[in-house]
Chain A
Amino acid sequence: AQKVTQAQTEISVVEKEDVTLDCVYETRDTTYYLFWYKQPPSGELVFLIRRNSFDEQNEISGRYSWNFQKSTSSFNFTITASQVVDSAVYFCALSDSPDTGFQKLVFGTGTRLLVSP
C-alpha cells in the first residue's frame, strides 16, 4: 500500500538559515510520481514540484531544491536562505498506478515550517 511519512512535525529556523524537509515514501509500483505542495495560512495548496520515478536527477528552482533517492525511498526538500514568507505547512505526496485507473494522491501529514526574522 502507498504511504508517505513526514517525520518532522514542526521546524523552526531563523531567517537566512537553510532547512531540509524530509519525505519517505512506500509503494510497490515501479512507476510513480512524487509531489511537494506548500500550504500557507490562507489554506490553498500550492504546487511546487512533480517528479516521476524514472528521473532521479536532483532539481533546483531558485532557493528550492529537491533530492530524490530511490535507494532510500526519499524525496527531500531543501530551502536555502529561508525567508519569513516561506513559513507554511509543506506536504509531500505520492501517486502511483492504482488498479482503479484514476490516481489517488496520498499525502503525508505535513511539516510546519516557521521562519522567524
Chain B
Amino acid sequence: ETGVTQTPRHLVMGMTNKKSLKCEQHLGHNAMYWYKQSAKKPLELMFVYSLEERVENNSVPSRFSPECPNSSHLFLHLHTLQPEDSALYLCASSQEVFSGNTIYFGEGSWLTVV
C-alpha cells in the first residue's frame, strides 16, 4: 500500500467538462503538493500546501483550482481545460515544506483532454 493515493488513475475529459482529482496521504505529513509531468517537459511544481494553507501557486492558470480541506486530503479541480493540459498529475507529501524534507509521490492521475 502506497502512502499517497490518487484517484482516478485515468481520466478523459472534454474541454467544457468539470472534473476533480483527489489525493490522500496516510503518512501524517503536514505538506502536500501537486506536480505536473508532461511528455516533453521536466516535472513542474504547481501548488504547495502547508497545514492546509496554500504557500505556492507556481503561475498556474486559473482553470486549475486546488483545494486542501485538511492536511491529509488534496484536490485539484479542473475546468475548461485545453488539450495541452493532458499530462500526468502527481500528488505528493512531505513531513514539512522546508528544504531537505523527502517528498513522497503518489501513482499519479493520467489526464487526457479531448
Interface residues of A (CB under 8 A from B): 31-33, 35, 37, 42-47, 50, 52, 91, 95-98, 100-110
Contact = CB atoms under 8 A, between A and B. Distances in A.
A52 B68 CA distance: 30
Contacts, number: 66
A95 B48 CA distance: 14
A43 B110 contact: yes
Contact of B104 (A47, A96, A101, A108): A47
Contact of A103 (B88, B99, B104): B99
A102 B48 contact: yes
Contacts of A97: 99
A104 B108 CA distance: 19
B71 interface: no
Contacts of B104: 47
Contact of A33 (B100, B108, B110): B100
A50 B42 CA distance: 20
A32 to B, nearest CB: 7
Nearest to A95: B99
Given A43-B88, A91-B43, A103 B98 contact: yes
Nearest to A31: B99
A90 to B, nearest CB: 13
A96 B101 CA distance: 11
B43 A107 contact: yes
Most buried by A among B90, B102, B110: B102
B50 A43 contact: no
Contacts of B55: 100-102
Interface in B72-112: 88, 90, 92, 94, 97-108, 110
A47 B103 CA distance: 8
B102 A45 contact: no
A110 B97 CA distance: 24
Given A33-B100, A102-B48, 14 more contacts: A33-B99, A35-B102, A44-B107, A45-B108, A46-B105, A47-B103, A47-B104, A47-B105, A97-B99, A98-B99, A100-B56, A102-B31, A105-B43, A107-B42
